Amino acid sequence: MPKAPRPENPYFEKLNVQKRRKIAEARHKRMAKEDLERLKRLHWRKCGNCGMELEELPFKGETVFKCFSCGSVLLPDGALEHLCGEEKRIIEALLDLFKF
């Protein structure tokens, strides 16, 4: 019988996220402005999962970006916190919206 997954320790998860954030910020600072602009032009409103165009959709006062090719959803910074701060049925409605 397979073992049930062990819940991660929230303290170490938070430390791991902070470490990864610092590494990403340092990488961003090392990049030349031209390289950053080139990457933005190349990936602007493209799905990070499959590379197709993302469609902009209004949802509960937020703008979300949906890939109709693979089903991925991109939430702008702060949108998830805003949406999760509301009642549980908002999350259920969000899940329903993005079902194929």
Which residues in this chain contact Zn ion in the complex, by CB under 5 A?
A: 47, 49-50, 52, 67, 69-70, 72
> Which CB sits closer to Zn ion, 9 or 49?
49
Please identify, using beta-carbon distances, which residue of 31 and 39 lies nearer to Zn ion: 39
Least Cβ distance, residue 75 to Zn ion (angstroms) = 14
**Smallest separation, CB 18 to Zn ion (Å):** 29
Q: Which tokens in the block code for residue 76?
A: 């702008």
d(CA 70, CA 58): 19
Q: How far is the CB of 77 from Zn ion (least distance, A)?
A: 20
**Cα–Cα–Cα angle for 73, 33, 42, rounded to 5 degrees:** 40
Dihedral sign (CA 20, 17, 62, 65): positive
